[in-house]
Amino acid sequence: MLLELPGSGHRVGKLPCFHQNNPIISQDGDLVIGIFLSLFSIEVNRATGAELFESPPNKACKPYQWLHKNYQQALSVLFAVEEINKDPKLLPNISLGFHLYNTYHSDERTLESSLHWLSGEDQPIPNYSCWEQDRSVAVIGGVTSALSVQMGTLLNLYKYPQISYGPFDSLLCDRVKFPSLYQMAPKDSALHQGVVRLIVHFKWNWIGMIISDDLRGEEFLWKIRGEMEKNGVCVSYTEKIPVSERRLVESHDNFMPRIMMSSTNVIVVHGDTDSLMILRYSQSPVFPARRVWIGTSHWDITMRPLYIHGYTFNGALTFSYLTSEIPGFKTFLKTITPSKYPDDILLRGFWLSAFMCPKQPEKSEQEICSANASLETLPLCYFDMAMSGLSYTIYNTVYAVAWALHEIFMRKSEKRLMEDEEYLVLPSWQLHSFLKNIQFNNSAGDEVFVDESRSSEAQYAIFNYMFLPNETDILVKVGQFVPKAPLGQDFTICENSIEWGWWGSKVPHGVCSESCHPGFRKTLLEGKAICCFDCSPCPDGEISSHMDAEDCMKCPEIEYPNQQKDHCLSKIVTFLNMKESLGMMLTLVSISFSFLTALVLGVFVKFQDSPIVKANNRTLSYTLLISLIFCFLCSLLFIGQPTTATCCLQQTVFAVVFTVAVSSILSKTIIVLLAFRSISPGSRIRMFMHPRVSVYVVLIGSGLQVILCGIWLGTSPPFPEADTQSEYGHIIIRCNEGSAFAFYCVLGYMGFLALGSFTVAFLARNLPDAFNEAKFITFSMLVFCSVWATFLPTYQSSKGKAMVTVEIFSILASSAGLLGCIFIPKCYMILLKSDRNTQGQIKNKRDSRGKTFAGAQPFTSSTGIYNKPH
């Protein structure tokens, strides 16, 4: 029943159980827009079956709750209509009115509200209108996609344009299914990217998801999961809130406990205020769990019935449309009082509820509550003075309808006179073509389109919800997300401005597993998400330099891992340096022995005419001593940084000079043996007693070694190389033999000569000591062979500088053995026992067993080769 009140531009309908059923307020106008807003929430009938018929549906008055913050949407409608009616350039001489209905989150009540508006009667009559004159032109409604679809199904039958002000839904763009439905909200296609950017910024990777159980929620879930996978973020669980009120009530008792009992600290909530009503009215536990809530656009966490619920969402972050401020809107809100609109029952009811007025007689209610009251004094959970995204969209929607009507009447005015009675007759279907092409700038300067294909991408402001100790709450802008901005400027966040509720200013943890520090790698757990892992230390020789490394990596060859295995250090380039203690000592020993050998050579030269020097073949002795000098000195080639030249000279010079030395010993041993053996006159063996034979033996023995070395250098010569593996943390610069086979052939040939000398000397070991050196040669060869026999396994098992040291030691030891065993006794006799260094002593020497060797009484020639016996 509609009552027209005199002296007012408003009409109010006072229906039975007004607040519990479907409140309606209207403002008269030449043209009327239907407005459907969610202003009340009523209790859902839990009855089923036969219980539904126990009482008449219209006489069951049910408890209700005000959705206080949604009342700003109704005021945005009133503000826009008043501005339009005062604007002389927009719809001149035509007033715009509205019918405002409450919508409920259920199919039956949404259809019922739509039929009420179409019929104009308390009792809906399908396909019949009781309005005196049908001046309805369009419908603004549909805060959710579900409501838009339910209303559109009915309104499309009458070709009424329906403009949805709720979140943009790509599914509603289907012109085949929804030919009369338009969407004014900006596109939300990048919202999931902004949410993931926020999650990644705070290094969270274990996220709970709460979405509305509809196609829009499924689309968002599919998009955000794909974006999370790209950034290494995992979904711990997904809770889907039913869009049906009955199912919502049925799942109420189990929904919040499941969320609070989970180990996930960060929860993303996607949906609108109506579909997520369960989160606002669910009873919080006595000790609410610590959670970080991330709300997407249109879910208003501040809409709570009790202050205690503020603790649950304290520290939450929300994405809201980044909108311009409409000039004059805040001023308009400050002037709103029941006394300004005395016939507006809806405003009066809101005022009594929001300001918690005591129950008084109807006369004094308004006076008591409106004395010093103002909307700006209400807490955030009741009213927000800043225009919300939904209110901004409704404001633009009312203007879009007004501009479309303006275009129509501007064309009509060219054909008909204003006084024509049919001038204001406007079939609703005519509005479609104009709405599709409408484009205008609102009072804030923003460009507005109705066509979805030209809708802009939404920009978001990020707010931090703070529940203060004095039981007041505020929303503080802490960042923004502008999808089309350049990379680096699209997402901004101010961490220092965020209060995290239970955590204070410390960023909460939102991970399944604690991060792996550098030096460790992630080891995935079987059957778990990739965000749940163990941390394993990197294997030897590998590092991980950043947090949460998937794999460890090897250092370059010139670097090595530090002890913590979190970065590589440059290896120290090293070689057997003459400046270090070991190199200095070996150099000193080498030079000392070469100097000692030179002194021995000097002694032999000075006493070259003495019987002992003559008896020991001066030429071979000189050759052997000179070669020993070079043997000691060639060890210096192994000390210092290897180069191509020194690598080639090291082994070849060492091989040649040692071969000369060993060949000289072999020649000396053969001649001594032949000189003291009984050789019958005319024997062919006597031909080997020629003085040049010893020279030939040395030249042939050394010549073969020179040939081997030449082949070695010509085919695969030694070269310097960097050994990065032998010693940890060091790069050893050493010489590579090139051809290991050639190297061991050279050593083998030298060993063959040494073994031959040892064998011959062993056979001549019983010759008179005063006349030859067979025993000394035997001992020297025994030392020589022992040293080099030990050298081979030691050299093979050594690495780096130790290999070079082993070879130098072998060179020095074997050379010193030859010098000490062969020449030191002779120098002792020459220098200290000169009385025994006479021709007579040598001639009269006899075997200790009383026999001479073939009765020989040899004489010594200048070559030291004994002549035939007497």
pLDDT computed for residue 287 by the predictor:
46
Q: Which position has the higher pLDDT, 201 or 250? A: 201
Task: Quick: pLDDT tens for 639-676.
Answer: 888 888 888 888 888 888 888 888 888 887 777 666 66
Measured in degrees and rounded to the nearest 5, phi and psi for residue 140 equal -110, 115
**Distance (Å, rounded) from C-alpha 284 to C-alpha 304?**
11
In the block, residue with structure tokens 């020629």: 690
Which residue from 424, 329, 436 is spatially nearest to 96, judged by alpha carbons?
424
Predicted confidence band of residue 425 (pLDDT cuts 50, 70, 90)? low
Domain identity same for 32 and 106 = yes
Residue range of the domain that includes 267? 191-324+457-503
Indicate if 294 and 354 belong to the same structural domain: no
Give the model confidence (pLDDT) of 44-63 as tens digits: 555 555 554 555 555 455 56
For the CA atoms of 433, 439, 440, 442, the dihedral, rounded to the nearest 10 degrees, stands at 90
Residue 584 covered by a domain: no
- 514 lies in some domain: no
Can you tell me the distance from the alpha carbon of 212 to that of 275, in angstroms, rounded to the nearest whole number? 6
Are residue 208 and residue 69 in the same domain, yes or no? no
Burial 600-611 (b: 16+ CB within 10 A, else e): bbebbeebeebb
Residue 854 lies in a domain: no
**Does 672 lie in the same domain as 554?**
no
Say whether both 312 and 396 belong to one domain.
no
Residue 869 confidence class, pLDDT cut points 50, 70, 90: very low
Residues 39 and 147 grouped into a single domain: yes
Count of all residues that appear for the chain in the document: 870
Residue 266 CB partners (closer than 8 Å, separation 6+)? 199, 204, 206, 207, 208, 291, 292, 294, 508, 510
Position 273 in a domain: yes
Residues 564 and 677 in one domain: no
Closest Cα to residue 109, out of 241, 274, 273? 274
Indicate whether 730 belongs to any domain: yes
The verdict on residue 580 lying in a domain is no
In terms of domains, do 409 and 474 share one? no
Neighbours of 231 (CB within 10 A): 12
Cα distance between residue 173 and residue 801, in whole Å = 79
Q: Give the number of other Cβ atoms within 10 Å of residue 429's Cβ.
A: 12
Assess if residue 515 is contained within a domain: no
Would the pTM of this model clear 0.85, i.e. be above it? no
Query: Is residue 65 located within the same domain as residue 89?
Result: yes
Is 728 in the same domain as 765? yes
Same domain? 780 vs 762: yes
Number of C-beta neighbours around residue 447 at 10 A: 10
11 pLDDT band, cuts 50/70/90, is: very low
Considering its fold, how many domains does the chain have in total? 5
SS3 102: strand
Residues 182 and 214 in one domain: no
Interior/surface letters 369-403, b for 16+ CB within 10 angstroms, e for the rest: bbeebebeebbbbbbbebbbbbbbbbbbbbbbbbb
pLDDT in tens, 770-798: 445 667 777 777 887 888 788 778 877 77
Asked which of 79-93, 386-400, 626-640 is least confident by mean pLDDT, the reply is: 626-640
Residue with tokens 């030269």: 605
